[in-house]
Amino acid sequence: MKILIPVFLVILFCGRTVQAQTPEDLLNSWSDKSPVEKVYLHFDRDNYLAGETMWFKGYLYSDFYPDTISTTLYVELLNASSVIVSKKVLPVAFGNTKGQVELPDSLSTGHYFVRAYSPTMLNHAGEFLFSRRLHITGKNPGGSPVFSGKKTRIEFFPESGNFVSDMPNTIAFKVTDESGLPLHSVGIVRSERGDSITEFSSYHDGMGMFDINPSKGIKYYVQLKGDPSAVKYDLPAVSGIGLVFRLMPNPLGRYFEIYQRPDNPSFRAAYIIGQMQHRQVFRMELNPEKNDLIGLINTQKLNSGILHVTVFNKEGMPLAERLCFVDNKEYRQTAQLLTDTVNFSGRMKNHFTLSFPDTIGGSFSVAITDPDYAAESQRSENIISSLLLTSDLKGYVHNPIYYFSSDDDSVKNALDILMMIHGWRRFKWSELPGISKQALRYQDPGYITITGKVNIRDTRKPLSNKDLFLLIFPMEDSLNSSMQFMNTNEEGRFRLDSLVFFGKTRFFVSDMLGKKNKWLDLYPDSDSINTSFGLPSLDIKQYLNPAATIPDSISSRLAYDYAAILNAEGQMLGAVTLKVRKKSPVQELEERYASGLFSGLSEKTIDLVNTKEKITQNNIFDYIQGRVPGIKVQKNGFNYQLFYRQRFSLTGGAIPMILYLNEMQTDARLISTIPASQVSMIKIFSSFFGAEGNGTGGVLAIYTKQGADLNNSLSTSADIFMYKGYSITKEFYSPDYSVPVKTDSASQKDHRVTLHWQPDIYVDGGDTKVPVVFYNNDRSRRFKVIVEGMTSEGKMVFIEKIISPSPRPF
């Protein structure tokens, strides 16, 4: 129970110092500056083996629409000690992102936790971070908490936070065992004199409520029937001041009642404010002359979600609060999963269709798994229950998906009791004057921003107002090098923003004219996205309950699969002696770099990786000059032309060589900006079938260093710096058994649990049909399909379907 009276006094004092701003003004000011943002992750499944890959799709949500505020999402895998095992940094576009976590094969069996957030979400004290528990089967099973289940805990929650004497009060309660699991209970409310006041029983998942009109100065307690120890559970203390605020369901929204005393003007209701996601959605004036007030809050035009209703006095002091859930169904997007071709035989093709009958735009993801390896027979949480319900509540909510399972009154009543029990607020009204004025601690990085300073080599003099050339070399994707330009200001500083690149990346900076690249000293600033926020440890206790443990039958299957993987990895080939001719360094270099027509025989190949020569030339043309017989380098200002063996056209003019950089035809001016030390290989062709006119004047193919070659070269160069980009995302591998496979591959058992993962479903149009095609493994005889996603209008899709063989007719 929350004791509100001392808080009232503080709020009353603060309210008098900020009379110029009403509570709703402060709330809206804060919300405008720092809107509420949430994130939900759709995983391909709910448990994994160590060494497997965990796939996920992220959906960001703000103000009931896909989030357009955040550009970067952090996803962390933590162990039971809240130590980060793996961390991913991902770019966000149009409110969604995707990624994967490669689970180390050294992980021990146990519970692990995923936490996801953007930097701007941390401005709300980390209250809207996504977190979820997952089970991983690996080595050396660790010990799990052991609960006897004998201890019973009861919590009491007076509606609106006040338990006031001589007024009709509603008390919500929650009964759980020591692990936090709900218990069905029946009990009696008694006064301190032992008088029986009322009886009650839990309504849903250990939760319920009862009405009581307490007397001033009397204490009350509860005893559970069937409890041989007759433990007394005390109700909150009764207060002689305050008011009672009650909400009840109504077809148009919520019917309210307010009971208040005539002798205490400071605790008389003047108006009601409703807010959702920290934004005011209504204000209702009340008649201050009446002691008992009734009325209707019409919620039909509100967005669905948790409505936070607060009663204020005329001085802006909050007197009572209550949460309720608005469910207008506008958040649901219609979609259908059609099973066109279903085949449970091993390695056979299946074809489903995801159909959207409406005209929509949005992003969706599909996971198809083997349900016989799922920890839960049905999902207990989904995108709807997470973004609309549990993300706004603190503490453990048992099976939240139940509250969206039907429109029955029993479900609605259970949800209303849940709102009374979780009447927890993300902020205190008394804190708003300070919060609304505070500068935000965290800002969105706007994707990757690289800043720094360029000086003239070995001096403190900045390279001012200079256009510079930038070469970008991804360390793990040598085929995706790129080029762009940047400039410095008067102080020699540069700024590159809104960048998106992945993995460790090297940046080489040179003067655009190719003259002064060896005279540059670079001083890049700190990383803009790969940073540590020092977040507190997760509250692991709220996840540790027996209901979420994997059934023994599933656990045994997973342990068997993990043992099979270890045995397969441990198989060693017998002694085999192979006699092979060792390739030369140049042959190995050509295999790493050259492809297609470029891998053919050339007149000459120059290896600049394995050479012992110290290469100091400004560019590769300066290096070639005088070193390659038959090639003449002609410089005209800042441009270069190369001629091979002085070949002439029919008109008598010399034919220049055609130049290729990383197997792409390129202008000499661009190549001249690359220092010779960054070149790995040069190939010279007297003619080239792939070039214009068959390369009559000859072809020069230049390759820049990539991968390990680049990492090992010029690691201390002053004009090269390293930057770690976004985490590399991979494509889900799904075998195509329509293509014949090698004998060795065909003999290997296919025991994939995730049969299909399709995170990149983008829809824009009407009556859209998306094909979902996959091949079965060698053992699955049922399919579990989960579809989740969000439209550009903030509507959400959730489909869960188990596809099983049809029963045979008798």
- The strand pair at 130-137 and 47-49 is best described as parallel
Chain centroid to CA 217: 52
Which band of pLDDT confidence, cut at 50, 70 and 90, is reported for residue 251?
very high
User: Which pair of tokens denotes residue 669?
Assistant: 């001016």
Rg of the chain (C-alpha set): 34
Distance separating alpha carbons of residues 523 and 521, to the nearest angstrom: 7
DSSP string, 435-498: HHHSPPS-----SEEEEEEEEETTSS-B--S-EEEEEEEETT-GGG-EEEEEE--TTSEEEEEE
* Phi–psi pair at 17, nearest 5 degrees: -90, -15
> Do the beta carbons of residue 452 and residue 493 sit within 8 Å?
yes
User: Which pair of tokens denotes residue 186?
Assistant: 């029946």
Residue 704, pLDDT > 90, answer no
The string of pLDDT tens digits covering residues 612-653 is 887 878 788 988 887 888 899 988 876 889 998 767 776 667
User: Which pair of tokens denotes residue 290?
Assistant: 């009446």
Per mean pLDDT, which of 177-191, 339-353, 688-702 is the most reliable? 339-353
Distance separating alpha carbons of residues 679 and 374, to the nearest angstrom: 52
- Identity of the amino acid at 309: V
- Identity of the amino acid at 645: R
Question: How distant, in Å, are the alpha carbons of 334, 701, 769 from that of 359?
Answer: 11, 50, 11
> Do the beta carbons of residue 156 and residue 136 sit within 8 Å?
no
Measured at the CA of 27, the angle between CA 22 and CA 28, to 5 degrees, comes to 100
Number of H helices, E strands in the chain: 11, 45
Cα–Cα nearest to 803, from 786, 775, 783: 783
Residue 97, pLDDT > 90, answer yes
> Do the beta carbons of residue 47 and residue 551 sit within 8 Å?
no
DSSP string, 505-529: EEEEEEETTSSSGGGEEEEE---SS
Distance separating alpha carbons of residues 3 and 442, to the nearest angstrom: 32
Q: Which helix (H) or strand (E) holds 624?
A: helix 620-624
Neighbouring residues of 268: CB distance < 8 A, sequence distance ≥ 6: 243, 260, 288, 313, 314
- 136-150, 585-599, 748-762: which has the minimum mean pLDDT? 136-150
Cβ atoms within 10 Å of 530's Cβ, excluding its own? 15
Write the burial class of residue 422 (CB in 10 Å: 0-12 exposed, 13-18 middle, 19+ buried).
buried
Which band of pLDDT confidence, cut at 50, 70 and 90, is reported for residue 541?
low
Q: Which helix (H) or strand (E) holds 593?
A: helix 585-593
The string of pLDDT tens digits covering residues 370-405 is 999 998 889 999 999 999 999 999 888 999 999 999
> Do the beta carbons of residue 522 and residue 516 sit within 8 Å?
no
Question: How distant, in Å, are the alpha carbons of 56, 279, 320, 354, 523 from that of 331?
Answer: 22, 18, 29, 19, 50
Neighbouring residues of 599: CB distance < 8 A, sequence distance ≥ 6: 590, 591
User: Which pair of tokens denotes residue 808?
Assistant: 């045979």
**Tokens 């009971």 map to which residue?**
259
Write the burial class of residue 591 (CB in 10 Å: 0-12 exposed, 13-18 middle, 19+ buried).
exposed
Chain centroid to CA 634: 54
Mean local confidence (pLDDT), 6-31: 59
Distance separating alpha carbons of residues 521 and 771, to the nearest angstrom: 54
What integer pLDDT is reported at residue 477 of this predicted model?
Answer: 65
Distance separating alpha carbons of residues 110 and 777, to the nearest angstrom: 27
Cα–Cα nearest to 34, from 447, 532, 437: 437
Share of the chain above pLDDT 70, in %: 88
What integer pLDDT is reported at residue 546 of this predicted model?
Answer: 47
User: Which pair of tokens denotes residue 192?
Assistant: 């301190």
What integer pLDDT is reported at residue 717 of this predicted model?
Answer: 57
User: Which pair of tokens denotes residue 489?
Assistant: 């200001």
* Phi–psi pair at 697, nearest 5 degrees: -85, 5
- Identity of the amino acid at 627: R
What integer pLDDT is reported at residue 515 of this predicted model?
Answer: 47
Q: Which helix (H) or strand (E) holds 553?
A: helix 552-570
Which band of pLDDT confidence, cut at 50, 70 and 90, is reported for residue 577?
very low
Write the burial class of residue 717 (CB in 10 Å: 0-12 exposed, 13-18 middle, 19+ buried).
middle
> Do the beta carbons of residue 68 and residue 25 sit within 8 Å?
no
Which band of pLDDT confidence, cut at 50, 70 and 90, is reported for residue 542?
low
Residue 187, pLDDT > 60, answer yes
Mean local confidence (pLDDT), 565-579: 53
- 259-273, 428-442, 461-475, 543-557: which has the minimum mean pLDDT? 543-557
> Do the beta carbons of residue 799 and residue 366 sit within 8 Å?
no
- Identity of the amino acid at 497: D
DSSP string, 396-439: --SSGGGGGS---HHHHHHHHHHHHHT---SS-GGGHHHHHHSP
> Do the beta carbons of residue 76 and residue 165 sit within 8 Å?
no
Residue 11, pLDDT > 50, answer no
Distance separating alpha carbons of residues 757 and 772, to the nearest angstrom: 10
* Phi–psi pair at 414, nearest 5 degrees: -65, -40
Which band of pLDDT confidence, cut at 50, 70 and 90, is reported for residue 6?
very low
Distance separating alpha carbons of residues 423 and 435, to the nearest angstrom: 21
Average pLDDT of the residues of the chain: 86
Which band of pLDDT confidence, cut at 50, 70 and 90, is reported for residue 14?
very low
Residue 196, pLDDT > 90, answer yes
What integer pLDDT is reported at residue 761 of this predicted model?
Answer: 96
Distance separating alpha carbons of residues 374 and 390, to the nearest angstrom: 22
> Do the beta carbons of residue 220 and residue 187 sit within 8 Å?
no
> Do the beta carbons of residue 585 and residue 607 sit within 8 Å?
yes
DSSP string, 55-116: EEEEEEEETTEE--S--EEEEEEE-TT--EEEEEEEE-BTTEEEEEEE--TTPBSEEEEEEE
What integer pLDDT is reported at residue 15 of this predicted model?
Answer: 41
Distance separating alpha carbons of residues 153 and 231, to the nearest angstrom: 11
Mean local confidence (pLDDT), 215-219: 94
Write the burial class of residue 748 (CB in 10 Å: 0-12 exposed, 13-18 middle, 19+ buried).
exposed
The string of pLDDT tens digits covering residues 129-164 is 999 999 999 987 655 555 555 689 999 999 988 899
Write the burial class of residue 110 (CB in 10 Å: 0-12 exposed, 13-18 middle, 19+ buried).
middle
Residue 694, pLDDT > 50, answer yes
* Phi–psi pair at 432, nearest 5 degrees: -60, -40
If phi > 0 it is left, if psi is from -120 to 50 it is alpha, else beta; for residue 94 that is left
Cβ atoms within 10 Å of 716's Cβ, excluding its own? 5
The percent helix, strand, coil of the chain (3-state, each to 5) is: 20, 40, 45
